[in-house]
Amino acid sequence: MTEADIEATDNKLTNQSKLLENEPLARYTSWRVGGNADRLFIAENIDDLQAFIKTIDSAEPIEFIGLGSNLLVRDGGVRGTVIVMHQALSELRKDGKYIYAEAGVTCGKLARFCANQSKQGAEFMAGIPGTVGGALAMNAGCYGTETWNIVHQVLTINRQGISHVRNQSEFIASYRHVEMPFPNEWFLGAWFNLEPGIAEDSMQKIKNLLATRLASQPLNLPSAGSTFRNPHGDYAARLIEASGLKGYQIGGAQVSPKHANFIVNVGDSTAMDIELLIRHMKDTVLEKQGVALQQEVRVIGEYA
């Protein structure tokens, strides 16, 4: 993107949209690590996002992030443009029989909104520490339920800035993975199909879920949620703990003593510390338990 492109884009955007250069991504990830993005864009609305994407050269890499809660950004940063959905695409409303949420809405806010609208089935979303966009992209879930179980339709955007409404049946969702049949498209929002419920019952489920999460997860330190997927019929945390890794530390990255499938930043971690610890956990569990753990955390960027 040239300086002229940036200036032209700025002239089209609302006062709330932001285009930043050489922006530290540690501010936008839950691990609080990572290098700088060449450019970082926060859109006020979908119209601004569409206008901005049209200015990006077709060869320039684009990364979309939400809360950065399932993401490791390497210390060398990210080339190209990073688009932040959180704090930007935040529309949340009842749309006929469905609940519509834009990609920047946090999963917890969606869960509470659905409960207050006397809709049941989205309570589990309160336990997902991310945004709707990220939940759609990885089929996030917890306590036996997954995002795509309640999706009716999704709204996407492509590199030309054109949006599309796609049906749930056009995607193949599996455990922590969604097959994206449309190249260079990203999720902007979704319509969720939920059953009628009782608001008080749903809110109580959410409270119980959050209490369980607080008791079992190290929420007082920066982390990215679960590091590995649960193998079929087992739990990654059990395998890691059985391998003697609870509390194991490389630099400022530590296997949480509270939950073995969490890596926490104890204060001065680098992205390399975390990546090395992930590799060590994989190798150790394979050696001692005979199980090859599958990484859940997405890694982007370049080494320092």
Domains, the chain, ordered by start: 3-84 (3.30.43.10), 92-215 (3.30.465.10), 220-300 (3.90.78.10)
CA quadruple 124, 129, 131, 136: dihedral, nearest 10: -60
Helix axes 46-53, 3-12, angle to 10 degrees: 160
Please report the pLDDT score of residue 44 as a whole number. Answer: 87
Report the 10 Å Cβ neighbour count for 217: 18
Please report the pLDDT score of residue 5 as a whole number. Answer: 36
Please report the pLDDT score of residue 87 as a whole number. Answer: 76
- Please report, in angstroms and rounded to a whole number, the separation of the first and last CA atoms in the chain: 24
pLDDT in tens, the chain (304 residues): 333 333 333 334 445 789 999 999 999 999 999 999 999 999 889 999 999 999 999 999 999 999 999 999 999 999 999 999 987 899 999 999 999 999 999 999 999 999 999 999 999 999 999 999 999 999 999 888 999 999 999 999 999 999 999 999 999 999 999 999 998 999 999 999 999 999 999 999 999 999 999 999 999 999 999 999 999 999 999 999 999 999 999 999 999 999 999 999 999 999 999 999 999 999 999 999 999 999 999 999 999 9
Sole residue written with tokens 């009628």: 196
Report the 10 Å Cβ neighbour count for 94: 12
Q: Are 176 and 226 in contact (CB under 8 A)?
A: no
Please report the pLDDT score of residue 43 as a whole number. Answer: 87
Please report the pLDDT score of residue 183 as a whole number. Answer: 86
Please report the pLDDT score of residue 2 as a whole number. Answer: 35
* CA proximity to 83, closest of 103, 101, 63, 69: 63
Please report the pLDDT score of residue 81 as a whole number. Answer: 97
- Distance in angstroms (rounded) separating the CA atoms of residues 40 and 192: 29
Give the up-direction half-sphere exposure of residue 183: CA atoms within 13 A in the CB hemisphere: 1
How many residues are recorded in the chain? 304
Q: Are 18 and 285 in contact (CB under 8 A)?
A: no
Cite the active site residues.
176, 226, 296
Q: Which two tokens stand for residue 4?
A: 């002229």
